[in-house]
């Protein structure tokens, strides 16, 4: 079959491939543990599930505004300010169909043919393909175990060329669990500002940090907004992977462009999932420390026993998704 050059540039997400293979084996009755996706061991907290049931009963089952219902956009900004010290306005926020979709949208509207995007390695497997699909070129810079897999501003600065459009960081990192300390993050921001490069900060694992680290956002830094794109997700923090709700916080013009793209692709994220996410943002976060304690070695011991870099400064849920022999991650 003749497919576009565009689609032939990328491979299927290895995590999706592993999920599909695990389903196939389970259907054949094979008893397997699927370590493919970064999947919380926990069900979605009850108060969030109940909000979704209420949403169905109250007939919130229709189209919503493309960028998400206003109460959710407001609640995301309020939550992000309270938890991570930012100051976004709802017009600087868009709700997407999961964090991966948020990244896809932002890269699609900013990266064009020949643009370079710096991605520290080891990296989450979807970043390079999303960049390639947009026509960009992933440029990998190394992080080292002896630095706790934390990328340095000096390393990023050296990799920047006239073609660099964006730097993508995830901290805590999937797959290493490495955390970029706030002072280094600020140095990276300063480099991005100086060289006029976007800094995409993937915060999907923001709350999966262990002492001495704390949840941190570069958006808490004054004057950061014009160069920073924040990617967030309900998936890991609230054990909501299947609900598919993520968000982007960025300058208004960028948000408007992603809403335009979304309006011609997914339309709005699912109305019912948006109401569940609203409860996640407004309700209790008591489940988060419980999950963290389990991942640190309680009933979730399988995760830590398998951790690839147990000495890394932050062990994260992300790290759990990397070491299955089935998983083709880098």
**Residues binding ligand PLP (CB under 6 A):** 38, 98-100, 124, 170, 174, 202, 204, 233, 235, 241, 246, 318
Report the residue number, 33 or 162, with the smaller CB distance to ligand PLP.
Answer: 33
Least Å distance, CB 34 to ligand PLP, is 13
Report the residue number, 156 or 273, with the smaller CB distance to ligand PLP.
Answer: 273
Report the residue number, 206 or 271, with the smaller CB distance to ligand PLP.
Answer: 206
Least Å distance, CB 101 to ligand PLP, is 6
Report the residue number, 1 or 236, with the smaller CB distance to ligand PLP.
Answer: 236
Q: How far is CA 238 from the centre of its chain?
A: 13
Least Å distance, CB 175 to ligand PLP, is 8
Query: Contact at 8 Å (CB) between 232 and 76?
Result: yes
Report the residue number, 23 or 57, with the smaller CB distance to ligand PLP.
Answer: 23
Least Å distance, CB 302 to ligand PLP, is 18
Least Å distance, CB 222 to ligand PLP, is 26
Least Å distance, CB 103 to ligand PLP, is 7
Report the residue number, 233 or 271, with the smaller CB distance to ligand PLP.
Answer: 233
Phi-psi region of 300 (alpha: psi -120 to 50; beta: other; left: phi over 0): alpha
């Amino acid at each position: 079959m003749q497919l576009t050059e565009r689609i032939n540039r990328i491979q299927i997400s290895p995590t999706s491939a592993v999920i599909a293979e695990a389903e196939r084996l389970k259907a054949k009755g094979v008893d397997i543990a699927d370590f493919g996706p970064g999947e919380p061991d926990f069900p979605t907290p009850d108060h969030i599930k109940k909000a979704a049931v209420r949403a169905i009963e109250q007939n919130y089952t229709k189209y919503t505004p493309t960028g998400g219902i206003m109460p959710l956009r407001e609640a995301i900004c309020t939550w992000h300010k309270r938890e991570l010290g930012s100051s976004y306005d709802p017009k600087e926020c868009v709700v997407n169909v999961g964090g991966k979709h948020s990244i896809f949208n932002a890269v699609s509207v900013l990266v064009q043919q020949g643009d370079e995007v710096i991605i520290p390695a080891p990296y989450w497997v979807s970043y390079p393909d999303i960049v390639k699909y947009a026509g960009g070129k992933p440029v990998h810079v190394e992080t080292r175990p002896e630095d706790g897999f934390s990328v340095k501003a000096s390393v990023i600065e050296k990799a920047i060329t006239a073609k660099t459009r964006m730097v993508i960081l995830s901290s805590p990192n999937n797959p290493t669990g490495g955390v970029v300390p706030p002072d280094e993050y600020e140095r990276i921001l300063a480099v991005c500002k100086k060289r006029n490069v976007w800094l995409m900060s993937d915060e999907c694992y923001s709350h999966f940090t262990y002492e001495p680290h704390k949840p941190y956002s570069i958006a808490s830094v004054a004057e950061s907004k014009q160069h920073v794109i924040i990617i967030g997700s309900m998936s890991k923090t609230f054990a909501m992977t299947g609900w598919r709700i993520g968000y982007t916080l960025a300058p208004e013009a960028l948000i408007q462009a992603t809403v335009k793209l979304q309006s011609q692709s997914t339309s709005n994220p699912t109305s019912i999932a948006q109401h569940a996410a609203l409860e996640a943002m407004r309700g209790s976060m008591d489940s988060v420390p419980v999950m963290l304690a389990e991942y640190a070695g309680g009933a979730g011991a399988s995760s830590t026993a398998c951790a690839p870099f147990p000495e890394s400064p932050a062990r994260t849920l992300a790290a759990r998704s990397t070491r299955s022999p089935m998983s083709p991650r880098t």
